[in-house]
Amino acid sequence: MTPEQILQIEKNIVLTLKNIYDPEIPVNIYDLGLIYEINFEPSGTAEIIMTLTAPNCPMADMLLADINREVGKVEGVEKVNITLTFDPQWDKSMMSEEALIELNLF
97 φ, ψ to 5°? -60, -40
Q: How many domains does the chain have?
A: 1
pLDDT at position 14: 98
**Got the DSSP string for 7-39?**
HHHHHHHHHHHTT-B-TTSSSBTTTTT-EEEEE
Domain of 78: which CATH number? 3.30.300.130
User: In this predicted structure, what is the pLDDT of residue 62?
Assistant: 92
Pairing of strands 79-84, 45-50: parallel
Domain that holds residue 27: 3-102
pLDDT in tens, the chain (106 residues): 899 999 999 999 999 999 999 888 889 999 999 999 999 999 999 999 999 988 888 889 999 999 999 999 999 999 999 999 999 999 999 999 999 988 888 7
